[in-house]
Amino acid sequence: METEQLIESLGAQLTPVRRLAPPSLRAASWLGAAALLGVLAVSLTVGLHIFSSRVALPRVACQCAGEGVTAVSAVLAALMRSVPGRSPRWALLPLPGCILWLASSGLGCLANGWSLHGPAGFIGESSHCFAFILGVSVPLAAALFFVLRRARPIDPLPVATLGMLGVAATAAFALEFFHPFDVTVIDLALHLAAVGVVMALGIGLRRRALAAA
């Protein structure tokens, strides 16, 4: 088909469209909804006492801040990258949060060693953390893909990578409200494995889930 004919045919197919809301507004809506659900879930179950006792320790407070900052910045970056013409440098936004998260968790590992339960219960409660991150991430990822696919991203790989990092970080942050013990090597390894699984699944499903243009 000649380009002239293509232009004519696109003109004939033209219908009015509803303009997409700015990425920052869409990010705020998703994060607001996730926060609201989180507050409801925590207040109806364990309450704030686990979180408030753990967060008194500065290192744990840094770890929680790292997770929270990663969640917010990665979701915002994913929504920015989903629209053509935004700077590719948005992809670097979650980096400081990630560094804070990993560094403070790493310090916890240095303090607590491999496991709090000795060789007999090497994995201990950490397997529940893995299941929690995966279980919370699935509905959050579905909701984020729903928001992202409206943009029909032209380059879905960075969008899916950043989006799933944001989802997994949100789930890891939510876990802090239900996590009664400090981080250990095996605990961090399982947290990171869960984050990796969430990201791999999201990246694998990106074309279909994001309705890439």
Partner 1 sequence: MDGQDDTWRSLMQAAQSGERASYERLLHEITPFVRNVARRHCRHPHDLEEMVQETLLTVHRVRHTYDPARPFSPWLTAITQRRAIDILRRRKRVSSHESADMRSIETFAAAAANQELETVRCAEEVRTLLQQLPPRQREAVEALKLREMSLAEASAASGQSVGALKVNAHRALKALRALMQGREKQARGRMDGN
- Residues of the shown chain interacting with partner 1 in the complex, contacts defined by CB under 8 A: 1, 3, 6-8, 10-20, 22, 83-86, 151-152, 154-155, 213
Of the pair 104, 161, the CB lying nearest partner 1 is at: 161
Buried b vs exposed e over 87-101: b needs ≥16 C-beta within 10 Å?
Answer: eeebbebbeebbebb
Taking the chain, what is the end-to-end CA distance rounded to the nearest angstrom? 20
Nearest distance from residue 7's CB to partner 1, in Å? 4
Of the pair 20, 109, the CB lying nearest partner 1 is at: 20
User: For residue 119, what are its two tokens?
Assistant: 């060789």
Nearest distance from residue 94's CB to partner 1, in Å? 21
Nearest distance from residue 8's CB to partner 1, in Å? 7
Nearest distance from residue 156's CB to partner 1, in Å? 10
Of the pair 22, 47, the CB lying nearest partner 1 is at: 22
Of the pair 7, 57, the CB lying nearest partner 1 is at: 7
Give the separation between CA 184 and CA 14, rounded to whole angstroms: 58
Find the DSSP H helices in 45-155: 49-54, 58-81, 95-112, 126-148
What separation in angstroms does the CA of 39 have from each of 34, 48, 174, 177? 9, 10, 9, 10
